[in-house]
Amino acid sequence: MDRSRSRWDCFLEHAALTDVGLRRSNNQDSFAVAVAPNRWKWLERGHLFVVADGMGAHAAGELASKIATDVVPLSYFKHRNGSPPDVLLAAVRDANQRIYKRGQASPDFKGMGTTVCVMAVTPQGVFLAHVGDSRAYRLRGHRLEQLTFDHSLIWEMKAAGHIAADDSGSFIPRNIITRSLGPHADVQVDLEGPFSVQAGDTLVLCSDGLSGPLEDDEIGKIAGSMPPDQAARALVDLANLRGGPDNITVIVIRVLEEPDVPESPPHEVGRPDEVGHPKEAAKPLPSIVLGAIGLFALGSLILAAFAQWLLAVISLLAAVGVGGAVIIARSGGKWVPRMYQGQALGRGPYKTIDCQPDEAFAKKLADTVQQLEDAAVRGGWTVDWSRFARHRDQATAAQKAGAFAAAVSEYCRAMSFMVGQLKAQRTHKADGAQQ
């Protein structure tokens, strides 16, 4: 698991986790996290989070998702011009081209593709670039919003009015997507935002390996009740306990305090140097220096007229050097971070879900924990029962007291602890069989 806090001002913390699931032999999901190393990078581009779910025979899906999560951050931070959504769009298109060309170059990879969901957390808020059915959510209080539109057959049919919005569409396969990166030279990319962020918000990106087995409200109830690393683990564990039919990837981001934004207008911020410190705006050079350029240039012409070629070249180089200094000084002025000035992008949020932890969900988790306990007893697992009992008993007490958020968090800790114990039993047996 990738878990860390940003290195400037402790603005947010995040955790990212990917898992092969229970029915797949290889993991075709990938993720990337690119946190701004300093305030100046934050002002320019913000933080970037990416989830990709690959598809294709053999290792093609793995390669496609890996290319997406490698190329998008590199391209996003490489581009110096354009607002965040402009650069997001360019980065996703760059990734599409890379995947497409790689697929065309080899019969084994031809037609490979991947979803991609890219979130940029910037001083203006959250911008998203999105292709496929991987999702982005924002949790504020007990309200979970899906910020992205699923490019899946069922969502497209609902949008076109072919089936009712409240129809579950059980006769339509849920895993058919209508867009992906890679199969074609061009791709239609959805842009969304900016969505505001404030202290206490939780942002979630995930592949359909999570959003399939779990309901939206369950994702919100767990993500809002635990620290990001524990929430990510609990979400993946619960998806696996419900069959783990696909690879599972999730990024959970907690906003710890109000985002850092410039106190002065952007045009008053100096362009950062290579280590991220602002440069002072250079003042114009005195007129005497400008006059020197003319003298050196004139001297070069006179010397050339008398065939003093070496001296003429030296004089000309001096003129060019002084002129270059003037250009550098004049171009080293104020740095202007490109802010997005247009209308809101996209139509999100596309769903709003109440996800206040309640007794029904606490009971559902309690049943899951009980089933794990029964399996451990029947299987004769070696378990630290005192630790398990501590989480379970605290969850039971919180549930009886009506503190359902605390009950959810403790039941999830008990669940993840038992899943970890199960994995340890399997590893021990596998190691014993090899000896």
* 402-427 mean pLDDT: 93
Could you tell me the two tokens for 286?
């005195």
Give the pLDDT of residue 8. 56
Top pLDDT among 184 and 326 is at 184
Best CA proximity match to 205, nearest among 252, 142, 256 = 252
Give the pLDDT of residue 57. 79
191 contacts: CB under 8 Å, gap ≥ 6: 85, 88, 89, 127, 128, 129, 130, 345, 346
Top pLDDT among 149 and 432 is at 149
How many whole angstroms separate alpha carbon 159 and alpha carbon 168? Answer: 13
Top pLDDT among 50 and 58 is at 50
Per-residue CA distances from 178 to 67, 91, 188, 208 (Å): 20, 21, 11, 14
pLDDT class of 263 with cuts at 50, 70, 90: low
> Could you name the CATH architecture of 2-266+346-354?
4-Layer Sandwich (3.60)
Asked if the model's pLDDT at residue 396 lies above 90, the reply is: yes
How many whole angstroms separate alpha carbon 247 and alpha carbon 96? Answer: 22
Query: For the chain, what are the domain ranges?
Result: 2-266+346-354, 282-331, 359-434
What pLDDT digit, counting tens, does each position of 317-370 carry? 655 565 555 554 554 544 556 778 889 999 999 999 999 999 999 999 999 999
Asked if the model's pLDDT at residue 387 lies above 60, the reply is: yes
Top pLDDT among 70 and 5 is at 70
Give the pLDDT of residue 179. 97
How many whole angstroms separate alpha carbon 203 and alpha carbon 12? Answer: 10
Per-residue CA distances from 200 to 81, 114, 148 (Å): 32, 32, 21
pLDDT class of 275 with cuts at 50, 70, 90: very low
Top pLDDT among 290 and 149 is at 149
How many whole angstroms separate alpha carbon 18 and alpha carbon 27? Answer: 8
Mean pLDDT of the chain: 86
Rounded to 10 degrees, the C-alpha dihedral 189/195/200/205 comes to -10
Do the beta carbons of residue 121 and residue 253 sit within 8 Å?
yes
Give the pLDDT of residue 298. 62
How many whole angstroms separate alpha carbon 124 and alpha carbon 101? Answer: 34
